[in-house]
A and B are shown apart, each in its own frame.
Chain A
């Protein structure tokens, strides 16, 4: 039984870690701006495309990766300045529409640049190699991902709890206007949030596309949505919550892909039911259930609406 489930768990942990890195960006932005940054998944995809083109220019891989992370952070910064900052006082729906507009723009831009064709993601030495663990063979990146995620999250939590900018972030997410009155430079705090979020999405993209090495303009949409669900599941605004939510979603989705086999092997069904198709839908069902049962998620804080 364990041998049957193990490969799916392994895939799940790996992809869960990659969702986690995207989810952190969602949860931080939502914590501060109360905005679902619909374009975040596309930033993740853009990071993948940038890597394809930088690596094709012949630069050494490690420099390429570094460049990708820097450019991705910059993309996040620019998006915030161009598309969200002018709408600071506008109704929330306008900002969300702007986010959808950015998502649409990024996808179309990449469609134009790539000609709408899949691009092969470059192989990164060491983490692209295969390795055998127990009953499964996988890429090194599968093991690297959870470790890296934990390190980054610990670093991030320290940043938020120990540094001045972290304190400012916490203040802004608690109360936007009061923080402003206290002399916190709102705009630079928001920009920092976007830079950090995009940087992590960049890291996530390197790991994700090493595992699934093709990039197309729609590559970011599904991982983006799933990461958002993870953020809601864990309690939006909570970084550990987002990470745990992401791992749960990653694991569940892969278990569902293998559910037919698991049930078949356990003797519960005599022929496959085609349940694998529900792997994405399950994530959304989980979302609706959690929203209805416990809208604040696993670790979310209770907020009260002021009249």
Chain B
């Protein structure tokens, strides 16, 4: 029995390894300007954020809409601590170079980004997590709006650069290894985000498989029963909230690396909604689903459906309806169809190993 159930896990590892190998190989072979890499980089970023949101909304049953706020904190912390000191007078041009005059290594900045987001989650979680489902949603949404404004406030300028852009910090492209003349010898700009997101998602999966993870799921399924079983509701909810925010913070830092610039006004509720929709399309309660739908979502919006935004001719016939914005209309309709008719999303609550299990069962029949 035991040997049988191990096979799907092995297969999963093989697939994950193959994906990483393929990403590495593709990056060395294909031209770096290819749209594929944009999709992979942004997809990896969104995958992490979506999984972190799923941890709350799907696995713990806490309907939080504060994701954009925590991403903002992560992105800002990353930016503030990694902009090279010599570039600071340019970036902080209205604030005499800013207050902070040192940098930390990228890896440290990433962890700081996560910790800062988790810290704010702890603060906001104390009052807010007592609220019930939709009140909690709107309170976390409100928190994200507040944090956005505080960052933009002029007296915060020496630290956050006010409402102005942070830029010139290390981006994904700086992971490429260059020779003395500046020519790239080894492309790593896509592999590194994959590694960061992979490690973080791996940690989340480990957590979900631990006793804590089972406790979280029991809270989702029945809060009162879970409490009766001796699970400390407040403690577990707070923990889930902080961990989710930690990874959202890292996700925010990754988004900063992808965008190469950061500004508070990017992180609107629309961004949270977008991530929520990714989670829904993938399947609320499936890590694999969130990862999968992130890439699908990014690829469709940045690449595959782009043609819907431009005039297309078949011979002399101009395809009607196609113009700026049509892509988003098609997108919205797909999302509504998923929300209304395929409520389980792509994966439901299944994970990658489960897929092989089912196939094996069918084959046995």
The answer to whether A and B touch directly, with their CB atoms under 8 angstroms apart, is: yes
Q: Encode contact with B along A71-108: 1 for CB under 8 Å, 0 otherwise.
A: 00000000000110011001011101110111111001
Contact call B138/A36, Cβ cutoff below 8 A: yes
Known interface pairs A90-B343, A115-B325; A277-B149 also in contact (CB < 8 Å): yes
Q: Encode contact with A along B243-257: 1 for CB under 8 Å, 0 otherwise.
A: 000000000000000
Stretch at the interface among A187-195, A196-204, A278-286: A278-286
Query: Which of B132, B137, B146 has the most chain A CB atoms closer than 10 A to its own CB?
Result: B146
Does A288 interact with chain B (Cβ within 8 Å)? yes
Contact call A83/B143, Cβ cutoff below 8 A: no
Known interface pairs A97-B280, A278-B153; A116-B145 also in contact (CB < 8 Å): no
- Report the Cα distance A305→B150, complex, angstroms: 36
Does A229 interact with chain B (Cβ within 8 Å)? yes
**Chain B residues within an 8 Å CB radius of A242:** none
**Chain A residues within an 8 Å CB radius of B277:** 97, 100-101, 104
Expressed in whole angstroms, the minimum distance between the Cβ of A256 and any Cβ of chain B is 11
Contact call A295/B131, Cβ cutoff below 8 A: yes
Contact call A108/B331, Cβ cutoff below 8 A: yes
Expressed in whole angstroms, the minimum distance between the Cβ of A153 and any Cβ of chain B is 23
Does B312 interact with chain A (Cβ within 8 Å)? no
Does A307 interact with chain B (Cβ within 8 Å)? yes
Contact call A109/B329, Cβ cutoff below 8 A: yes
Known interface pairs A278-B153, A295-B135; A111-B63 also in contact (CB < 8 Å): no
Contact call B340/A87, Cβ cutoff below 8 A: yes
**Chain B residues within an 8 Å CB radius of A264:** none
Does A55 interact with chain B (Cβ within 8 Å)? no
The A interface, classified by DSSP as helix, strand, loop or mixed, is helix
Contact call B131/A116, Cβ cutoff below 8 A: no
Contact call B224/A100, Cβ cutoff below 8 A: no
Q: Encode contact with B along A211-247: 1 for CB under 8 Å, 0 otherwise.
A: 0000000000100010011001000000000000000
Contact call A93/B57, Cβ cutoff below 8 A: yes
**Chain A residues within an 8 Å CB radius of B63:** 93, 96
Those of A10-45 within 8 Å (CB) of chain B: 34-36
Q: Which residue of A lies closest to B162 (CB)?
A: A274
| Other-chain contact of A277, B127, B153, B270, B280 (Cβ < 8 Å) | B153
Does B324 interact with chain A (Cβ within 8 Å)? yes
A interface size (C-beta, 8 A): 48
Known interface pairs A100-B276, A103-B273; A284-B143 also in contact (CB < 8 Å): yes
Does A292 interact with chain B (Cβ within 8 Å)? yes
Expressed in whole angstroms, the minimum distance between the Cβ of A185 and any Cβ of chain B is 23
**Chain A residues within an 8 Å CB radius of B142:** 229, 283-285, 287-288
Does A144 interact with chain B (Cβ within 8 Å)? no
User: Which size class do B's interface residues fall under?
Assistant: 35 or more
Does B134 interact with chain A (Cβ within 8 Å)? yes
Query: Which of B131, B149, B155 has the most chain A CB atoms closer than 10 A to its own CB?
Result: B149
Contact call B149/A104, Cβ cutoff below 8 A: no
Those of B120-177 within 8 Å (CB) of chain A: 127-128, 130-135, 137-139, 141-143, 145-146, 148-150, 152-155, 163
Contact call B138/A232, Cβ cutoff below 8 A: yes
Contact call A104/B137, Cβ cutoff below 8 A: no
Contact call B133/A92, Cβ cutoff below 8 A: yes
- Report the Cα distance A39→B130, complex, angstroms: 26
**Chain B residues within an 8 Å CB radius of A283:** 142
Contact call A36/B137, Cβ cutoff below 8 A: yes
Expressed in whole angstroms, the minimum distance between the Cβ of B145 and any Cβ of chain A is 5
Does A273 interact with chain B (Cβ within 8 Å)? yes
Q: Which residue of B lies closest to A35 (CB)?
A: B134
Expressed in whole angstroms, the minimum distance between the Cβ of A96 and any Cβ of chain B is 6
Known interface pairs A36-B138, A109-B332, A277-B152; A98-B325 also in contact (CB < 8 Å): no
Q: Which residue of B lies closest to A103 (CB)?
A: B273
Contact call A108/B329, Cβ cutoff below 8 A: yes
Expressed in whole angstroms, the minimum distance between the Cβ of A114 and any Cβ of chain B is 8
Does A62 interact with chain B (Cβ within 8 Å)? no
Q: Which residue of B lies closest to A273 (CB)?
A: B155
Contact call B335/A288, Cβ cutoff below 8 A: no
Contact call A112/B340, Cβ cutoff below 8 A: no
Does A291 interact with chain B (Cβ within 8 Å)? yes
Q: Which residue of A lies closest to B341 (CB)?
A: A86
Expressed in whole angstroms, the minimum distance between the Cβ of A29 and any Cβ of chain B is 12
**Chain B residues within an 8 Å CB radius of A116:** 324-325
Contact call B128/A112, Cβ cutoff below 8 A: no
**Chain B residues within an 8 Å CB radius of A87:** 340
Q: Which residue of B lies closest to A99 (CB)?
A: B339
Expressed in whole angstroms, the minimum distance between the Cβ of A189 and any Cβ of chain B is 21
Contact call B149/A280, Cβ cutoff below 8 A: yes
- Report the Cα distance A291→B135, complex, angstroms: 8
Does B186 interact with chain A (Cβ within 8 Å)? no
- Report the Cα distance A93→B133, complex, angstroms: 8
- Report the Cα distance A93→B343, complex, angstroms: 11
Expressed in whole angstroms, the minimum distance between the Cβ of A22 and any Cβ of chain B is 15
Contact call A102/B336, Cβ cutoff below 8 A: yes
Contact call A83/B276, Cβ cutoff below 8 A: no
Does B313 interact with chain A (Cβ within 8 Å)? no
Q: Which residue of A lies closest to B131 (CB)?
A: A291
**Chain B residues within an 8 Å CB radius of A113:** 325
Given contacts A93-B284, A292-B130, 8 further A-B pairs with CB under 8 A are A92-B133, A98-B336, A108-B325, A274-B154, A284-B141, A288-B128, A288-B146, A292-B127
Shortest 8 CB-CB contacts between residues of A and residues of B: A284-B142, A112-B325, A105-B332, A281-B149, A108-B328, A274-B154, A292-B127, A281-B146
Q: Could you list which residues of chain B lie within 8 angstroms of chain A, going by C-beta atoms? A: 57, 63, 127-128, 130-135, 137-139, 141-143, 145-146, 148-150, 152-155, 163, 224, 269-270, 273, 276-277, 280, 284, 323-326, 328-329, 331-333, 335-336, 339-340, 343
* 14 A-B residue pairings within 8 Å (CB atoms): A90-B343, A92-B133, A93-B57, A101-B332, A102-B336, A105-B332, A105-B336, A221-B269, A274-B155, A278-B153, A281-B145, A284-B141, A288-B127, A292-B127
